[in-house]
Amino acid sequence: MIPLGVWDMPIQYYIYLCLTLFSIGIIGVLTRRNAIIVFMCVELMLNAVNLLLVAFSKMHHGAAIARLPGSTAGIEGQLFVFFIMVVAAAEVSVGLAIIVMMYRNTHSVDINFLNRLKN
Amino acid sequence: MGTTEILFFFLSALAIFSAIMVLVSKNPVHSVLWLIAVFFAISGHYILLNAQFLAIVNLIVYAGAIMVLFLFVIMLMNLNAETEPQKHVWMTMAGVISGGCFLMVFVSLVRQATDMNGKTALMIGGNIGLIKNLGKVLFTEYVVPFEITSVLFLSAMVGAVVIGKK
């Protein structure tokens, strides 16, 4: 049994790390015009959220097993990460199909070509 | 400073550096490779948090399957640094500033949140990340959402084929 309190990491570190990764993803979505890079930045943001969910799940689990050893509190966070990964995989397959479609029609992956949806 | 802290800071620095390189590299293939480095760093974080199942799923699904799909699409389109669409420097500045404002607002919010003080994430201990425990919960309490995801995958597959065939 590993003694509690020795291996802990302040939750703020994880929040700062995930915020930084998420902001980098936002900056990428806002600044790049290549549709594939924009899509990759969305993946980066999803991964930042996943990491934060796992960190919070371990935070709740650590608090729970200090009170009641053998508790499985916090396991839902990790299950939700699993479901987010599933949804992301489905999203990537459809999104890349749309990008390939767009490239076939316009011979470019510049997202500014998509502003024809405006009219 | 123990081994855990050193590993944490090393993986964090690797993740942030690779994420920045995803943005600044001109060649889309390099961006994909840097994004794979980010996913490896995040998988390292999962292992540090003793979420072994998610670590391996992250590697197989994200770094394995999804990134290969990205690479295939980039190679099919023959994209390289020359075909990269250029953008106004002012638009780039505006994007960086708005992203920085987002980061600043949230960092100050977390710094002032008093109920986060003293909260810690359990690093090595805890066994909720093991496949046995996750599988028990997944196939008892969450079995209906799990089955619904299969329908989601089927619809995504059909949608991708329909969109791609046109």
CA distance to partner chain A, nearest, from residue B25 (Å):
10
**Cα-based distances in Å from A60 to A11, A36, A73, A81:** 11, 37, 7, 15
Asked if A40's CB is within 8 angstroms of B39's CB, the reply is no
For residue B29, what are the contacts with CB-CB under 8 A and spacing of at least 6?
B71, B74, B75, B79, B80
Question: Would you call A53 exposed, middle or buried from its count of C-beta atoms within 10 A (0-12, 13-18, 19+)?
Answer: buried
In a domain, residue A61? The reply is yes
Q: Give the domain ranges of chain B.
A: 3-129, 130-166
Dihedral over Cα of B108, B113, B114, B115: its sign: negative
The two counts, helices (H) then strands (E), for chain A are 3, 1
Question: Which residues in chain B touch residue A25, judged by CB atoms under 8 angstroms apart?
Answer: 19
In a domain, residue A46? The reply is yes
Does the beta carbon of A31 lie under 8 angstroms from any beta carbon of chain B?
A: yes
Q: Provide the 3-class DSSP secondary structure of residue B120.
A: strand
Element (H, E) at A10: strand A9-10
In a domain, residue A54? The reply is yes
Which pLDDT tens digit goes with each residue over B110-138?
999 888 887 888 877 778 888 998 999 99
In a domain, residue A70? The reply is yes
CA distance to partner chain B, nearest, from residue A18 (Å):
9
The predicted complex's ipTM stands at: 0.91
Q: Provide the 3-class DSSP secondary structure of residue B117.
A: coil
In a domain, residue A22? The reply is yes
Question: Would you call B143 exposed, middle or buried from its count of C-beta atoms within 10 A (0-12, 13-18, 19+)?
Answer: exposed
Q: Count the domains in chain A.
A: 1
* pLDDT confidence band for A7 (50 / 70 / 90): low
In a domain, residue A2? The reply is no
The whole-model pTM stands at 0.90
Give the phi and the psi of residue B7 in degrees, each rounded to 5. Answer: -65, -40
In a domain, residue A115? The reply is no
CB contact at 8 A, A43 and B62: yes
* Domain span holding position A22: 11-109
CATH for the stretch B3-129: 1.20.120.1200
Which pLDDT tens digit goes with each residue over B56-94?
999 999 889 999 999 999 888 877 766 666 667 888 899
CA distance to partner chain B, nearest, from residue A62 (Å):
5
